[in-house]
Amino acid sequence: VLSGCGVYDGTEIHEASAILVHLSRGGAEVQMYAPDVPQMHVIDHSKGQPAEAESRNVLVESARIARGKIASLAKLTTADHDAVIFPGGFGAAKNLSTFAVDGKDCKVNGEVERVLKDFHKAGKPIGLCCISPVLAAKVLSGAEVTVGHEEEEGGKWPYAGTAGAIKELGGKHCVKEVTISFPVNFPHVDAKNKVVTTPAFMCETELHKIFDGIGAMVKNVLKLTGK
């Protein structure tokens, strides 16, 4: 499920690409979706500032990542799929929810909430990375998720405050690494709720470590499908 195209106002493209690579390697068939709604705003990524005169549609922008093969999130039905995965990027906090503005008092897009609840009710796995675990924390009360560490640690975890917000949303936060460490403790698998999360770009680190961490998330999601 995508949220636009570009880290500051949509889907984090590297995360989406990594997920697709690992799903392909795992032999999964993939269908991409995005809500057919306006973006909260448009960011000029070269400046990191809002482009005041622009407006864009989340589904249309997400189609860039999907190479055109995408459908409205309203068409996503649990019966047709074994699992659902949400990449991160600020779009998850701006377009799939209002977390970027409202924090613990945020609202989740109605279709996103429906999808999360339907997959959870059906006992089908849900994968989320980067900031998108806040969606599960808000919608699935008591879900265990990770966004990495709970302290900034000199800038390595610049969004560490999100862990506290997850607790305020009703979720349980578990400290995890972005990639393999000893003892191995990534990603986080909430076996009861079948929710798998990994920090990804919540951490300032090398791209290959983020790629590997996302791979572990995807592998565990596929494992939970039982296929």
Q: Is 129 a catalytic residue?
A: no
pLDDT for 179 equals 85
Span 80-116, pLDDT tens digits:
999 999 999 999 999 999 999 999 999 999 999 999 9
Read off the pTM: 0.96
Least confident span in 51-55, 59-63, 103-107, 186-190: 186-190
Span 158-185, pLDDT tens digits:
999 999 999 999 999 999 999 866 555 5
DSSP states along the chain: ----SSTTTS--HHHHHHHHHHHHHTT----EEE--SB-S--EETTTTEE-TT---BHHHHHHHHTTT-EEEGGG--GGG-S-EEE--STHHHHTSBSHHHHGGG--B-HHHHHHHHHHHHTT--EEEETTTHHHHHHHSTT-EE--S-SS-TTTTSTTTTHHHHHHHHT-EE----SS--SS---SEEETTTTEEEE-GGGS-S-HHHHHHHHHHHHHHHHHHHT-
> Which is the CATH superfamily of the domain at 13-225?
Class I glutamine amidotransferase (GATase) domain (3.40.50.880)
Least confident span in 15-19, 168-172, 184-188: 184-188
pLDDT for 181 equals 61
Catalytic residue from among 5, 130, 174, 203: 130
What mean pLDDT is reported for the chain? Answer: 96
**Average pLDDT for residues 204-222, to the nearest whole number?**
95
